[in-house]
Structure 1
């Protein structure tokens, strides 16, 4: 009977919690990588095409400045939109009784990936 005692169920619960934590961390990391790839793709698509009309072997000073400013603006806008979207999701979840979103999941999935 001692085999089925409370200590075994506590160990199982602890193991399940560890697995859940590990899986959540893995999902966070994968989301961060995906978001970083999306951001890099969008920056390349918008900034490079706008700032480097005739690609050569190296960037001119003006092209370098244009790319830097464009990337800074694009990343700033990306973060602002992400914060707004996350806030909206949190508000909708609260309205539907789901409670608050885990901010660490959101942060690592959006802004921390940069």
Structure 2
């Protein structure tokens, strides 16, 4: 996706806002992709000891619990990070 304006075009406030929203969406998508990749890698290593054509019930349970814990951890870190950013912004004002 190309975010640059055409040559000679000026970014007015509405265009800047739209551009920032597109960048935020791309960052959110990249973060979601990274989360899925990391979660898959870590949970596969933890739960799948003998890869085969299907998962047995213990592997399925391990994967589900691992993914739940990973998501909980990711969300906790994200909330804490956002909170600290907000605190820093408030101190700067």
TM-score tier by shorter-chain length is: 0.7 to 0.9
Unpaired segments ≥5 residues, structure 1: 1-14, 98-114
Q: 2:32: which partner in 1?
A: 36
Cα deviation for residue 45 of structure 1 reads: 2.0
Q: 1:63: which partner in 2?
A: 59
Runs of 4+ with deviation above 4 angstroms: none
* RMSD, aligned CA: 1.2
**CA radius of gyration, larger in:** 1
- RCO comparison, higher one (Cα < 8 Å, 6+): 1
Number of equivalences = 83
Cα deviation for residue 17 of structure 1 reads: 2.2
**Are 2:19 and 1:23 equivalent residues in the alignment?**
yes
Q: 2:82: which partner in 1?
A: 86
- When normalised by structure 1's length, the TM-score is 0.68
Unpaired segments ≥5 residues, structure 2: 1-10
- When normalised by structure 2's length, the TM-score is 0.82
